[in-house]
Amino acid sequence: MGKLMDDWLNNMGDWNISRRRYYGLPLPFYPCDCGELTVIGSRTELAEKATAGFDQLEELRRPWIDRVTIRCDHCGREDLRRIEEVGDVWLDAGIVPFSTLGWRNEEWVPGGNATGAARGLTKADLPDHEYWEKWFPADWVSEMREQVRLWFYSQLFMSVALEGVAPFRSVLGYEKMLAEDGREMHGSWGNLISAEDAFENMGADVMRWMYCGHPPDRNLLFGYEGAHEVRRRLLTLWNSARFLIDYGNIEGFHPTYADLHGGLEAGDLTTTDRWLLARAGQAIEETANGYERLRTDEVITAFEGYIDDLSNWYIRRSRRRFYEYDDAAFRTLWVGVVTALRVISPVMPFLTEHLWSNLVAGPCDDAPQSVHLAGWPEMPGEVDDQLLAEMAAVRQVVEAGRRARMEANIKLRQPLRRIIVRGAGLVSPHASQIREELRVKEVSFDEDTAVEVTVKPNFPVAGPRLGPKIKEVAAALAAGDYEDLEDGGVTAAGETLGPEEVERSERVVLEGWVVAHDGGVSVALDPTLDDELILEGRALELIRALNDQRKQEDLALTDRIVLRLPADHSDLVDEYRDWIAGEVLATSIEVDETLDSPVLVLDAQSG
């Protein structure tokens, strides 16, 4: 935007400020045959020079203004008439910072802006100059990119002419809003969405999310499909809050407002708890940066990353701790969800306010009644960068592992024997999490037996930085003469290359293994199944199916059941009775040869 404005100002041609219209700001130019041009500067000056028509002047616009004649000070002629043209609308728009806020107005005039066409529509006061000084220049103005040569320019021109300074401290320009089919919206094309319909069918928060989440340098394709996608993504926040509320109610969790201000004792927390608090701190920093740069799209990107971590990692990894009351887990998740509400409340004021009243204002007597009165969140604890980097790498390994499973066409629920992880030196303290998430019995790190690795420089990225030296680096990499770094980068030929500056390709050496990558991380897995693994996989499938059935039969989360299973599950019951019972809240399991499918009966004696 700055460059566009510079270009415009440097190459400015003449601006034709007049328009042949009826409505608009009448240009106060009164030419005379003697060659004199009188330009009227105020209503008072007009009153002084008027020779006729001033008494009927209801408003300073057509038709009344055209009935006023004035005197020529040069030759004395008394019937000068105004030229017929009015000003370009951007003249009006550009002068607004001066015309409405009391610039050079000595006294505050109650109802002073309720004159002329505004009479009856507003009771607005005309403020005084002191008030104007408080508001000028504006902190922020925002309009479409085209306004560089219209509104942004006319404001700048007026302000520089009158005050010698720019009228705004910052400007956000953006591209067009079009219909979802990429065309302009037109009633006759059937692709127009009225604001009322959009509010009604999308909801104000979803609309705000669409505008705020959109990179301003691209056209926004606005429509119901996009709104649906936003709704789908908001479900992650909604479901996380829902999970906390459901289990909090069951287990009698009562939040403590002070937990938002570093009230959680580090000693009581697990590594995953400390990680979520660090992620919350990181989200606060990242969203604050986005807001300060006026880039709400960056705010939303940071928010979505955080909510994904909260939902698809923290809750997922900690689920069990909520089934039996774990104080640290409840308090950590509460801080995590409430922090999410606070950082996104400027973008989504209604949904966040609703959740705030349920999660915070309701249960905590000392909490502000509104999220919008709570201020910007403090850091919930120290941001442990090492831990954040480790867990980010763990998630990368898990992503790559899932992809490898998909490639091998093996369901996530089927346990496997072994994986080998490469290029993720940070994750070794969290091997047990990786084993659980990827359902493997054994994880080993950086063993060369599984894969043959080749590393090349990523030329488009590393080339500009390294210059001609890149040839030497490439040769060293090709010869295997390099060292791997923890972050996924390498050192070769005396140069250090970041993870984004190298490209790895790997060939599986072990017969039958499958490998997948995520950034610089690779996971190789052995897809071989044995009887033990198959049996365990069947047990996991059964547990999932039974829990789905619990939901379909509308059992409450805490209801205990008596479980009867068909005979084809009898080997599972022999091997895994207690495990299955615990996972589906069964007080007893019985195999019944007359059944075709599982039968769940509410156990009336317990719960």
**What's the min distance (Å) between Cβ of 44 and Zn ion?**
22
Could you tell me the two tokens for 170?
A: 């910052």
Q: For the CB of residue 72, give the shortest distance to Zn ion in the complex, in Å.
A: 3
Say if CB 501 and CB 456 are below 8 A apart.
Answer: no
What distance in Å separates the CA atoms of residue 350 and residue 345, rounded to the nearest whole number? 8
Residue 118 CB, nearest approach to Zn ion (Å): 36
* DSSP β-ladder status, 69-70 and 86-87: unpaired
Tokens 């103005």 belong to which residue? 141
Task: Rank residues 75 and 235 by Cβ distance to Zn ion and give the closer one.
Answer: 75
As given in the structure block, the two tokens for residue 59 are 């408003």
By CB neighbour count within 10 A (0-12 exposed, 13-18 middle, 19+ buried), where does 599 fall? middle
Shortest distance, position 79 Cβ to Zn ion, whole Å: 10
β-bridge pairing 18-19 and 29-31: unpaired
**Number of CB atoms found within 10 A of residue 49's CB:** 18
Phi, psi values for residue 415, rounded to 5°: -65, 150
* Spatial contact of 107 and 128, defined as CB atoms under 8 Å apart: yes
Nearer to Zn ion, 33 or 483 (CB): 33
Residues with Cβ within 8 Å of 400's Cβ and at least 6 positions away in sequence, in order, are 516, 517, 518, 521, 522, 523
Q: What angle do CA 241, 248, 332 make, to 5 degrees?
A: 70
Smallest separation (angstroms) from Zn ion to the CB of 219: 54
Distance CA(223)–CA(202), nearest Å, equals 9
- Cα separations (Å) of 69 from 55, 84, 308, 387, 439? 12, 13, 71, 80, 91
Nearer to Zn ion, 45 or 500 (CB): 45
Q: How far is the CB of 51 from Zn ion (least distance, A)?
A: 13
Q: How far is the CB of 35 from Zn ion (least distance, A)?
A: 7
Task: Note whether 265 and 381 are within 8 A (CB).
Answer: no
Residue 64 C-beta: closest distance to Zn ion, Å: 24
Q: Are strands 18-19 and 86-87 parallel, antiparallel or unpaired?
A: antiparallel
Closest approach of Cβ 77 to Zn ion, in Å? 5
The answer for residues whose C-beta is within 8 angstroms of residue 88's C-beta and 6 or more apart is: 15, 16, 17, 18, 19, 24
Query: Residue 444: helix, strand or coil by DSSP?
Result: strand
Q: Nearer to Zn ion by C-beta: 46 or 427?
A: 46
Nearest residue to 192 via CA among 162, 222, 233: 222
As measured in angstroms, the least distance from the Cβ of 121 to Zn ion is: 40
Among 140, 300, 145, 141, which Cα is nearest to 211's?
Answer: 300
Quote the least distance from Cβ 25 to Zn ion, whole Å. Answer: 25
Look at residues 162, 134, 163, 140 and name the one whose alpha carbon lies nearest to residue 152.
140
Applying CB under 5 A, the residues found at the interface with Zn ion are 32, 34, 36, 72, 74-75, 77
Nearer to Zn ion, 75 or 165 (CB): 75
Q: What CA–CA distances, in Å, run from 56 to 26, 34, 308, 476?
A: 16, 28, 68, 91
We find the least distance from the C-beta atom of residue 49 to Zn ion, in angstroms, to be 12
Question: Do 434 and 427 meet the contact criterion of CB atoms below 8 Å apart?
Answer: yes
**541 residue type, one letter:** E
Cβ distance to Zn ion smaller for residue 68 or 466? 68
Dihedral sign of CA atoms 255, 258, 262, 267 in order? negative
Q: How far is the CB of 34 from Zn ion (least distance, A)?
A: 3
Alpha helices in 252-348 (DSSP H): 271-292, 296-309, 316-323, 327-344
Residue type, 170: S
Cβ distance 371 to 360 under 8 Å?
A: yes
- Nearer to Zn ion by Cβ, of 33 and 225: the residue is 33
- CB of 54 vs Zn ion, minimal distance in Å: 19
Using the minimum distance from each CB to Zn ion, give the nearer residue, 39 or 604: 39
Distance in angstroms (rounded) separating the CA atoms of residues 388 and 551? 35
Pick the closer one to Zn ion by CB: 73 or 268: 73
